Amino acid sequence: MTEIREDAYAPARETTEGTVYTVTGGDWDTFLDEEHDDRIVINMGPQHPSTHGVLRLVLELEGETVQQARSVIGYLHTGIEKNCEYRTWTQGVTFVTRMDYLAPIFNEVGYCLAVEKLLGVEAPRRAQVARVLLMEINRIGSHLVCLATGGMELGALTGMTAGFREREEVLHLLEFLTGLRMNHAFVRPGGLAQDLPDGWEERVADFVSIMRKRLPDYDNLLTGQPIWRQRLENVGYLPVDGCLALGATGPILRAAGLPWDLRKIEPYCGYEEYDFEVPVATEADCYARYRLRLAEIHESLKIIEQAAAKMEPGPVMVEDRKVAWPAQLSIASDGMGNSLEHVRKIMGQSMESLIHHFKLVTEGFSVPAGQVYTAIESPRGELGYHLVSDGGTRPVRVHVRDPSFVNLQTMPAMSEGGMVADVIAAVASIDPVMGGVDR
């Protein structure tokens, strides 16, 4: 039974877009009059659980068909780019790792590669291999969240519980390797904050073994499931020319048939040494994007095994002492601050050494004037950093090309003309992370 309430604070009113009603329960047909029965404008969000965070979608519906779709962003804006301009180059890592919070390692690596390019330095071999190892572990975790939340939003709750179960394995491993589950700030300009802990080889091998055993479950649970296929096939279609026109990259572009992966096309961190395939599909729909992400998890496992085999003894930070201070810090037993042994070592060297350490920590190192753009392949596509330096200890400008922000532009093209229920599948296949969109 439909109830049309005359609310003193929210009565029905006329607008330039038509009548706005306050309605609770029931069918649209029972209260719409003949004059205003053609189109309805509804808000999906910003708290809707099926919009991957604090995203608001404004949908204009004719029946259940989406005639127009717009995304409204900014609810998660945290001023990260501007904050970086008021911190030292090293402190910027702590900010950028919080943007795309499902792929923090990628934010750190992209930022640090840009800083290193301005400095004219290159991280040591061991640090480069460790970065690849951490990124591919993080890529698996990010894709698992995409599969899990996509399953939850479409009603496949077992897919959600399985996805988050495997993601816990990723977070446990990252916590062991870096000290934190998320927002690691482990990758620093010039290398890594510290070397990998003892026993990392066994933990990584165990992780790969567990993932190899559990990945077939996703094919059994979802890939061949008739309802799952019906919800995703021929939904959210966006061909390759549409992807290029809208700037979409990552799985969206590769699912449309273009094998564009910066790890192959413009290798960084030594990716040219690794043997892996770039999964591609041609269907350009939600189902193709789902299967492509699943295939990328298998490829990441291959890269992780190769990185573990390539790891050689050596430093994890450049030798230049004017840059290398973070790697020299020895963490205290409580996980915070410096250990007493490290403090004694600094205090026992010389006054000049102590002054240098103090100035490096408080003021940071200077970076030669110039500007640079560096891009890497994040789980969502091209993640680019544009940094500008005036020769000081802080950036003049930090601007990020976040793939979630650009890819979100494809939502109307995927959704308009389709059913309102398919908007959920389309947004899930885009996999936007609003921390990166709004930053």
Which pLDDT value is given to residue 254? 93
Res. 296 pLDDT band, cuts 50 70 90: very high
Same domain assignment for residues 205 and 345: no
In the chain, pLDDT over 90 holds for what percent of residues? Answer: 39
Same domain assignment for residues 119 and 250: yes
Mean pLDDT, the chain, as a whole number? Answer: 85
In the chain, pLDDT over 70 holds for what percent of residues? Answer: 87
- Per the model's pLDDT, the better-predicted residue between 339 and 370 turns out to be 370
Which pLDDT value is given to residue 328? 55
Q: Is position 255 within any domain?
A: yes
Query: Do 66 and 414 form a contact (C-beta atoms < 8 A)?
Result: no
Q: Is position 105 within any domain?
A: yes
Same domain assignment for residues 181 and 141: yes
Same domain assignment for residues 215 and 352: no
CATH number of the domain encompassing residue 290: 1.10.645.10
Same domain assignment for residues 181 and 330: no
Same domain assignment for residues 218 and 238: yes
CA 312, 316, 320: angle at the middle one, nearest 5?
130
Strand partners, 41: 60
Q: What is the domain count for the chain? A: 3
Look at residues 334, 362, 390 and tell me which one is the last residue of a structural domain: 362
26-61 confidence digits (pLDDT tens):
565 665 555 555 678 888 877 766 667 788 888 888
Same domain assignment for residues 144 and 155: yes
Q: Is position 439 within any domain?
A: no
How many angstroms separate the CA atoms of 285 and 236, rounded? 5
How many angstroms separate the CA atoms of 153 and 133, rounded? 31
Packing angle of the helix pair 200-218, 286-310 (nearest 10 deg)? 160
Lowest mean pLDDT among 24-28, 181-185, 229-233, 408-412: 24-28
| The pLDDT of residue 315 is above 90 | no
Look at residues 362, 390, 416 and tell me which one is the last residue of a structural domain: 362
Which pLDDT value is given to residue 439? 82
pTM of the model: 0.86
Same domain assignment for residues 284 and 161: yes
Query: Do 137 and 207 form a contact (C-beta atoms < 8 A)?
Result: yes
Same domain assignment for residues 223 and 369: yes
| The pLDDT of residue 204 is above 90 | yes
Which pLDDT value is given to residue 27? 60
CB-based contacts of 219, cutoff 8 Å, min separation 6:
294
| Tokens (6 digits) for 342 | 């490290």
Res. 20 pLDDT band, cuts 50 70 90: low
Q: Is position 143 within any domain?
A: yes
- Per the model's pLDDT, the better-predicted residue between 361 and 284 turns out to be 284
Query: Do 193 and 185 form a contact (C-beta atoms < 8 A)?
Result: yes
| The pLDDT of residue 231 is above 80 | yes
Same domain assignment for residues 357 and 390: no
Domain boundaries, position 344: 325-362
Task: Tell me how far CA of residue 3 lies from CA of 23, 31, 36, 288, in angstroms.
Answer: 7, 9, 18, 43
Q: Is position 437 within any domain?
A: no
Task: Tell me how far CA of residue 327 lies from CA of 127, 188, 290, 315, 429, in angstroms.
Answer: 11, 8, 39, 9, 39
| The pLDDT of residue 81 is above 70 | yes
Which pLDDT value is given to residue 202? 92
Lowest mean pLDDT among 74-78, 81-85, 179-183, 333-337: 333-337
Strand segments (E) across 116-219: 187-188, 191-192
Which pLDDT value is given to residue 278? 93
Which pLDDT value is given to residue 2? 43
362-385 confidence digits (pLDDT tens):
888 888 999 999 999 999 999 999
Same domain assignment for residues 217 and 98: yes
| The pLDDT of residue 137 is above 90 | yes
Which pLDDT value is given to residue 61? 85
| The pLDDT of residue 426 is above 70 | yes
Strand segments (E) across 1-155: 3-4, 13-15, 18-20, 23-24, 40-44, 56-62, 65-72
237-277 confidence digits (pLDDT tens):
999 999 999 989 999 999 998 999 999 989 999 999 999 99
Which pLDDT value is given to residue 217? 86
Same domain assignment for residues 350 and 229: no
Which pLDDT value is given to residue 1? 42
Task: Name the residue among 174, 192, 181, 187 with its Cα closest to residue 108.
Answer: 187
Count of CB atoms within 10 A of residue 375's CB? 20
Mean pLDDT of 221-250: 89
Query: Do 407 and 242 form a contact (C-beta atoms < 8 A)?
Result: no
Strand partners, 387: 372, 398
CA 182 from chain centre, in angstroms, equals: 12
Mean pLDDT of 291-318: 91
Q: What residue spans of 179-285 are helical by DSSP H?
A: 200-218, 226-232, 240-246, 251-254, 262-265
Mean pLDDT of 147-158: 86
φ and ψ of 192, to 5 deg: -125, 160
* Cis peptide, bond prior to residue 368, ω within 30 of zero: no
Q: Is position 275 within any domain?
A: yes
Look at residues 362, 384, 416 and tell me which one is the last residue of a structural domain: 362
92-136 confidence digits (pLDDT tens):
898 999 888 899 999 999 999 999 999 999 999 999 999 999 999
